[in-house]
Amino acid sequence: MPNCPVCSEPMYHDKRGGVEIDVCAKHGIWLDKKELYHITEDARRDEDIAFWEDWFRTAVSTPTDHDRKLGCPICGKPMTLEKYEGVVIDYCTDHGTWLDSGELDAILNNLRLDPSYLRGVALRLKDLRY
């Protein structure tokens, strides 16, 4: 089990949308490659979503510390900052994605603003890298 890239404390396992994720209760979550894609697809297929809420939905952004340099919790290499669905995330090209607290909820919110995502276009090739 990896350590949190922010505080170096051991993370614990949890499930989100059928995906096992690594969680730091203080700072965020670690998603192995393709897990972010699977979580977003599971959220899209969730039948309990009230579509009328989308009429009032607005894009959400999260604060970003561009000076912070996090190392991948798997390999230790510096992660790069990438903008994904309006949210700046920390990304290791070999192993996965670090999401600070609140970033996953912001991504899921912002995806619901995309009509092709809502219509069920499951093949989002560019998103498979996450």
Query: Model's pTM, two decimal places?
Result: 0.88
pLDDT at 76: 96
Determine the residue type at 32.
Answer: D
Position 123 pLDDT exceeds 70: no
Q: How confident is the model at residue 119 (pLDDT cuts 50, 70, 90)?
A: confident
pLDDT at 53: 66
Contacts by 17-22, CB closer than 8 A, 24 or more apart: 17/42, 17/43, 18/42, 22/73
Count CB atoms within 10 A of the CB of residue 25: 11
Span of 34-38, 66-70, 125-129 with lowest mean pLDDT? 125-129
Bridge partners of residue 71, in order along the sequence: 78
Contact (CB, 8 A) for 71 and 51: no
pLDDT at 110: 92
Question: What span, in angstroms and rounded, lies between the C-alpha atoms of 69 and 71?
Answer: 7
Position 52 pLDDT exceeds 80: no
Per-residue pLDDT, averaged over 68-88, amounts to: 95
Tell me the per-residue pLDDT of 25-35, one tens digit each, with 9 for 90 and over. 999 999 999 99
Question: What span, in angstroms and rounded, lies between the C-alpha atoms of 80 and 70?
Answer: 8
Span of 10-14, 44-48, 107-111 with lowest mean pLDDT? 44-48
Percent of the chain at pLDDT exceeding 90: 62
- For the chain, the structural domain boundaries read 12-129
